[in-house]
């Protein structure tokens, strides 16, 4: 029988079970965050805010967002590595024996995003995660021989997807396909109908759903049933950190434990995916890029409204093409997916009120998971507090996004 899910909110220290003589706990994790620039001002991710330096990201994630673990996926950039080495030398960060780097309350996992275009296929983005700075430096050397500018993020590299997997495995890391359904540079959105056509599926422990899809949609594709689903922010600004994240059960926040969780080993695993309501994503609905008119889910190359030729196929339509299972069929290991609206999307929650909430309650994780409604009312007023409570379970009404434009909340 199909599994039936209800929204589930689990505190950071709940759901503890002893496995292998280790006490497992839950950790909030956002594993896809971009660096906009280095501390000297050199660009890394061109489309990201220059305020997104490594140190600023670590401070935001630890002090304001309340993330226990983050993945910074531009750690391949040499100047970013220099900043990290300085943090380690000063003792502001500590490299852990099981992989990852501790900064304040947050563990940093080092990552890199690359683009690969194989002959006859569209481009696809992949996230490479490695356990140590030494391993990432070795990957930078490998990368430098295969791309134009190793200082920049998301560079196209002259390599096969299989070659990338082999390199990551050799360095003790893993490869995760990024935002897999996105029409621009997603594995299924742009590159292939089946992952086994282009890579070794046995080395893929997890896939990133992207902002326009959820578990209900992705589990219609049977080859994904064995994979862990990740919901990450793909943050290009400090405020976007934690707009999607997951709660992961591990013995500690480390690279080795995270890999076990992706592999669903020894009681480790994702407990809850917290993601945007898919309609808020930029590519959920098939839309004309010219006039932004939502269009029927077909392959018409031209907009019937304005005649513009750039019709962007939505994620929902693409999944419909690939689906080989009905909805509501999920593997036994699949955790709940809670459609949660981030604070910044909520009407009336501007920078001043957000700061008041942080001052009163601590981090975003506290506000979204732990603070009672009556306490929210005391700081934000009844109307906004009610919106925040409804946002926790995706109960606000949404106008769908498409063709690169985010959806929006249309009520309150």
- The DSSP element (H or E) to which 311 belongs, if any, is strand 311-312
Q: What is the pLDDT of residues 337-386, one digit of tens each?
A: 998 878 887 888 899 999 999 999 999 899 988 899 999 999 999 999 99
Q: How confident is the model at residue 6 (pLDDT cuts 50, 70, 90)?
A: very low
Contacts of 274 (CB under 8 A, 6+ apart): 231, 244, 245, 246, 247, 338, 340
Higher per-residue pLDDT: 5 or 155: 155
Give residue 339's pLDDT.
85
Whether 255 and 98 have beta carbons less than 8 Å apart is answered as yes
Q: What is the pLDDT of residues 238-282, one digit of tens each?
A: 999 999 999 999 999 999 999 999 999 999 999 999 998 776 755
Give residue 13's pLDDT.
36
Give residue 316's pLDDT.
85
Q: What is the pLDDT of residues 174-207, one digit of tens each?
A: 999 999 998 889 999 999 999 999 999 999 999 9
Give residue 186's pLDDT.
95
pLDDT at residue 300 greater than cutoff 90: no
Give residue 395's pLDDT.
72
Give residue 407's pLDDT.
63
Q: How confident is the model at residue 392 (pLDDT cuts 50, 70, 90)?
A: confident
Assign residue 371 a region: left if phi > 0, alpha if psi is -120 to 50, beta otherwise? beta
CATH ID of 18-277, from 3.40.190.10, 1.10.287.3510, 3.20.20.140, 3.40.50.1220: 3.20.20.140
Whether 322 and 191 have beta carbons less than 8 Å apart is answered as no
Q: How confident is the model at residue 309 (pLDDT cuts 50, 70, 90)?
A: low
Q: Which residue ranges make up each domain of the chain?
A: 18-277, 345-393
pLDDT at residue 10 greater than cutoff 60: no
Whether 77 and 150 have beta carbons less than 8 Å apart is answered as yes
Question: Which whole number is the average pLDDT over 158-170?
Answer: 98
Asked which of 28-37, 297-306, 308-317 is least confident by mean pLDDT, the reply is 297-306
Higher per-residue pLDDT: 398 or 240: 240
Q: What is the pTM of this model?
A: 0.88
* Average pLDDT for the chain: 88
Can you spell out the DSSP letters for 110-165?
Answer: EEEEEEE--TTS--EEEEEEESSHHHHHHHHHHHHTTSS-TTSSSEE-SS-HHHHH
- Looking at domain 345-393, its CATH class is mainly alpha
Higher per-residue pLDDT: 300 or 346: 346
């Amino acid at each position: 029988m199909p599994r039936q899910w209800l929204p589930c909110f689990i505190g950071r220290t709940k759901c503890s079970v002893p496995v292998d003589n280790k006490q497992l706990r839950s950790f909030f994790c956002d594993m896809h965050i971009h660096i906009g620039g280095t501390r000297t001002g050199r660009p890394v991710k061109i489309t990201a805010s220059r305020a997104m330096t490594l140190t600023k990201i670590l401070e935001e994630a630890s002090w304001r967002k309340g993330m226990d673990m983050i993945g910074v996926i531009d750690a391949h950039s040499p100047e970013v590595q220099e900043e990290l080495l300085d943090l380690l030398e000063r003792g502001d960060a500590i490299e852990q024996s099981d992989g990852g780097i501790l900064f304040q309350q947050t563990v940093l996992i080092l990552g890199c995003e690359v683009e690969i275009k194989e002959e006859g296929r569209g481009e696809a983005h992949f996230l490479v995660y490695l356990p140590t700075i030494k391993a990432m430096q070795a990957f930078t050397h490998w990368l430098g021989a295969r791309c134009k500018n190793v200082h920049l993020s998301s560079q196209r590299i002259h390599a096969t997807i299989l070659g990338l997997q082999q390199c990551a495995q050799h360095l003790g890391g893993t490869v995760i396909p990024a935002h897999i359904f996105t029409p621009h540079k997603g594995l299924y959105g742009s590159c292939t109908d089946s992952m086994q056509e282009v890579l070794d599926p046995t080395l893929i422990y997890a896939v990133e759903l992207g902002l326009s899809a959820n578990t209900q949609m992705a589990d219609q594709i049977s080859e994904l049933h064995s994979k862990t689903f990740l919901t990450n922010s793909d943050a290009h600004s400090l405020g976007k950190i934690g707009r999607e994240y997951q709660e992961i059960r591990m013995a500690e926040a480390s690279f080795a434990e995270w890999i076990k969780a992706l592999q669903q080993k020894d009681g480790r695993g994702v407990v809850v995916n917290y993601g945007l309501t898919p309609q808020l994503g930029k590519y959920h609905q098939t839309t004309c890029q010219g006039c932004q008119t939502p269009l029927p889910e077909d392959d018409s190359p031209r907009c019937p409204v304005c005649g513009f030729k750039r019709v962007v196929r939505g994620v929902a339509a693409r999944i419909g093409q690939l689906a080989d299972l009905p909805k509501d069929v999920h593997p036994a290991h699949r955790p709940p997916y809670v459609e949660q609206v981030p604070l910044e999307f909520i009407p009336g929650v501007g920078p001043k009120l957000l700061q008041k909430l942080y001052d009163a309650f601590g981090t975003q994780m506290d506000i979204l998971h732990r603070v009672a409604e009556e306490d929210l009312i005391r700081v934000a007023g009844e109307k906004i507090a009610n919106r925040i409570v409804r946002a926790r379970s995706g109960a606000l009404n949404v106008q769908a996004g498409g063709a690169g434009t985010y959806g929006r909340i249309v009520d309150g």
